[in-house]
Structure 1
Amino acid sequence: MTTASFSYHHEDQILSLRGQWTVDQYPQLLRAMLLFFRAKNADSAKQQPLQQLETSELESIDSSGASLLHYFFDHDQLTEAIQANANLSPQQQALLLTVSASLTKDAPPQPRPYRLGDGIATLGEQVIRQIKHSNSLFGFIGLTLFTFISVLLRPWRWRVTSLVYHMQHSGVHAVPIIALLTFLVGAVVAFLGATVLQDFGATIYTVDLVAYGFMRELAVLLTAILLAGRTASAYTAQIGSMKVNQEIDAMRVQGLNPIELLVIPRLIALLIMLPILTFVAMIFGILGGASVALFALDISSTQFLYIIQEIPAKHFWVGMSKAPIFAAVIAIIGCLEGFKVGKSATSVGIHTTSSVVQTIFIVILFDALAALFFMEMGW
């Protein structure tokens, strides 16, 4: 076997190939070309110019040898040199052109300098993405509402077992963590209020601060945020895993409605349980404030209860009125992101994270809008 070699003249930009440029000679040729271009003070990572390809002493060449030419020489000039070479057989010429075109197509795109319009283009892409996401969300809300009304009018299609299961896992199992969290937050709010109000001799108003805060805002907001991280993620992961395993496709093949089977029981379960959990959060948040008032502020339990009784009931209903809205947001977004999952486990994780972020953001946004609305209405 003739040893493969080459020569390259920088002045004339002529490359001469000799011997057999095959896979057996690939390591030797690669080292030789790297050493040659480095010795000539040329950047070996940069493709060299080429005007003429001399192959009169070339015995054979395969795809590995052809790839070396692509790596070291400019693609357009190499293509022209191959097409102008009369010593190459039609098979060799076709091989060189095919390998060069294939490697050029698979090469990563070269970064271009930043332009002034790139920021506007990126903003436009984000806006279009958000519009598409909003369209899919509103469409899913409409489909869920239509299915909900359809099932509600047909009691024989109610999924009672699934409903009770999701009520237990989404609601009952969340009671301990919600009770502990709101109790601690209530104690923290009472300490904070007492620290500020004692300078004005108004420590007694700490009771009102805790009661008003949990009845109107903190109880429903903390409960919704906790369920957004706990339940929305669970809904997305459950439905996403079913989609990865093609269980949802199997439901459709059997003529079953995935919205009716998977979404409606979860939605109704949260619509029932979130107001109950909100009430639990109110009770334990106020108990947390009462414990601080009793042991640190010298406010007796009798006095604490008397102040609580004087608070108008409308503040309780203001807080409770937001619970069904937050429940619908958590259930719908959690299920929608589950249906968006692709065919990989990575997609399940991505959409689970997305569902948590979206639900928390929308819950806080709706809570802020509701606070402005109730303030303007004087409620």
Structure 2
Amino acid sequence: MAREGAWVEASRIGDGDQHDGGWLVTALGRWDLKAAGGLARELESFSPGDGRGPLRLDLSRLDAMDTAGAYLLARLADRLTAAGNAVSVTGVRPEHAALFDAVRKAGQPPAEPLLPPSHPILEMLERTGRATVDAAREGLDLLGFLGLVTITFGRVLLNPSRLRGRAVLFHIEQTGLNALPILGLLSFLIGVVLAFQGADQLRRFGAELFVVNLLGVSILREIGILMTAIIVAGRSGSAFTAQIGTMKVNQEVDAISTLGLDVVELLVVPRALALMISLPLLAFYADIMGLIGGAVMSYATLDITFGTFIRQLHGAVTLPHFLVGIVKAPVFALVIAMVGCYEGLKVSGSAESVGTLTTKSVVESIFLVIVLDAMFSVLFSVLRV
């Protein structure tokens, strides 16, 4: 199919040739963008023969070739190869070689690496190992961030004028005062549930009055502070991550650093200090509401009057029971604030990252709170407190 400008022709290779029985496909003329439209239509139906065999694509008689022409030639060679022909490209001029090789390599799919056959148990072990390494790396990063926060706290204590008091008061209001309704309701209901379940069990032994002992010890030592920490982690810890993460997305954190201000001192310390002040007060409030809920249920199911409840509670619990729960509060508060701020500072710059790291901060905070609570329980048991 000859034409002016550019064309391709096919012919049989003679008997004396080393490719005896094959075909010679010769590209002629100017294979450029101007001729690409007509060539593309012609090449779709081009076939040098009916059978399969060796085929030589000769480019020595090309007058010119640009990227469009190189693409058409590479696609022709690939199509003929896919049809079962052993295609070899010959006669490429030096000025065309680099362009033709680049275009042909760009059109080929990347070679897939040869992987050993997978095994479900090995894959599970690999995922477990990768998760363990990631968790260890995350723990080391959190430990380093704790050191940075501790150093910044010490610098602020040595120079109290650097503390942003208005920001601390604002976060006390957000994390403490605004959390009272939901914390009070949940603590009251927890006291109701504990009293009901305890009464149901102790009634079998005629020891209904000891429900008061169960409520006093469990709420003051464990339930009150643990419920408070979990609620604050889900409410305030996630808010810290979302606030700082949004600032990171809006490049406000970068602006703070550009102005020469300390990001940890400006964003982390006020939140951590506010939570360390408000969480012990919230824990005390949760203890009171839990005991009130238990007293109401005890009166409703066991006919234990409020006066009897208070007298029995006075004999069942002592000051150490109360202090055991309150001592945990500042530690839990520091962990919740540190994790929330740390994950907020890790936001990469997208709204999706904010949501992902907010969820992650809540999970990490609750996990660390429960782990620390277990460690405190073992420590107090060893100290016989």
Normalising by structure 2, report the TM-score: 0.79
1:257 to 244, 254, 262: 262
Residues 265-301 of structure 1: per-residue CA shift (max 9 Å, x gap): 0010010000000001001111111111111221111
User: What is the 5 A alignment of 1:22-101?
Assistant: 24=37, 52=55, 54=57, 62=69, 65=72, 68=75, 84-90=88-94, 93-101=97-105
1:155 to 157, 160, 164: 160
How many corresponding residue pairs?
Answer: 358
| 8 A contact 2:335–2:369 mirrored in 1 | yes
- Cα deviation for residue 354 of structure 1 reads 1.1
Pair 88,217 (structure 1): closer, same or farther in 2 beyond 3 Å: same
Pair 5,129 (structure 1): closer, same or farther in 2 beyond 3 Å: farther
2:329 to 315, 323, 334: 323
2:312 to 307, 310, 319: 307
Aligned residue number for residue 183 of structure 1: 188
Inter-partner Cα distance in structure 2 for 1:119 and 1:254: 48
Identity within the alignment, %:
36
1:346 maps to a residue whose letter is E
- Cα deviation for residue 360 of structure 1 reads 0.6
- Please state if 1:353 is matched with 2:359: yes
Aligned residue number for residue 131 of structure 2: 126
- Cα deviation for residue 348 of structure 1 reads 1.2
Residues 209-252 of structure 1: per-residue CA shift (max 9 Å, x gap): 12211101111101101111111111111111111211111111
Aligned residue number for residue 114 of structure 1: 118
Inter-partner Cα distance in structure 1 for 2:39 and 2:305: 89
- Please state if 1:363 is matched with 2:369: yes
- Cα deviation for residue 180 of structure 1 reads 0.4
Inter-partner Cα distance in structure 2 for 1:255 and 1:64: 54
| 8 A contact 1:271–1:327 mirrored in 2 | yes
| 8 A contact 1:223–1:278 mirrored in 2 | yes
Aligned residue number for residue 224 of structure 2: 219
Aligned residue number for residue 210 of structure 2: 205
Q: Is the deviation greater in 84-93 or in 293-302?
A: 84-93
| 8 A contact 1:183–1:284 mirrored in 2 | yes
| 8 A contact 2:196–2:297 mirrored in 1 | yes
Pair 95,328 (structure 1): closer, same or farther in 2 beyond 3 Å: same
Normalising by structure 1, report the TM-score: 0.81
Inter-partner Cα distance in structure 2 for 1:103 and 1:89: 21
Inter-partner Cα distance in structure 2 for 1:90 and 1:270: 73
| 8 A contact 1:66–1:99 mirrored in 2 | no
Residues 55-74 of structure 1: per-residue CA shift (max 9 Å, x gap): 57999754664675698698
Residues 20-56 of structure 1: per-residue CA shift (max 9 Å, x gap): 89875799799979xx9xxx9xxxxxxxx99755357
1:266 maps to a residue whose letter is R
- Cα deviation for residue 95 of structure 1 reads 3.9
Give the SS at the match of 1:378.
coil
Pair 304,28 (structure 1): closer, same or farther in 2 beyond 3 Å: farther
- Cα deviation for residue 4 of structure 1 reads 9.7
Aligned residue number for residue 106 of structure 2: 102
Give the SS at the match of 1:229.
helix
| 8 A contact 2:43–2:76 mirrored in 1 | no
1:212 maps to a residue whose letter is V
Aligned residue number for residue 17 of structure 2: none
Inter-partner Cα distance in structure 1 for 2:301 and 2:103: 81
Pair 263,14 (structure 1): closer, same or farther in 2 beyond 3 Å: farther
Aligned residue number for residue 287 of structure 1: 292
Give the SS at the match of 2:302.
coil
| 8 A contact 2:40–2:72 mirrored in 1 | no
Inter-partner Cα distance in structure 2 for 1:29 and 1:371: 83
1:217 maps to a residue whose letter is E
- Cα deviation for residue 131 of structure 1 reads 2.9
| 8 A contact 2:56–2:90 mirrored in 1 | no
Inter-partner Cα distance in structure 1 for 2:175 and 2:42: 66
1:102 maps to a residue whose letter is A
